[in-house]
Amino acid sequence: MRTRAGGEGRVEVCVADSGEGVAAGDLERIFEPFFTTKAHGLGVGLAISRAIVEAHGGRLWAECGAGEGTTFRCAVPVWEAGMGREL
pLDDT for 47-58, tens place per residue? 999 999 999 999
Residue 51 domain-assigned?
yes
Number of domain units in the chain: 1
Could you list the residue range(s) of the whole structural domain that residue 42 is in?
23-68
DSSP codes of every residue in the chain? -EEEEETTTEEEEEEE--SS---GGGTTGGGSTT--SSSSS-S-HHHHHHHHHHHTT-EEEEEE-TTS-EEEEEEEE---TT-----
Residue 83 domain-assigned?
no
pLDDT digits 0-9 by tens, 55-68: 999 999 999 977 78
pLDDT at 68: 84
pTM of the model: 0.81
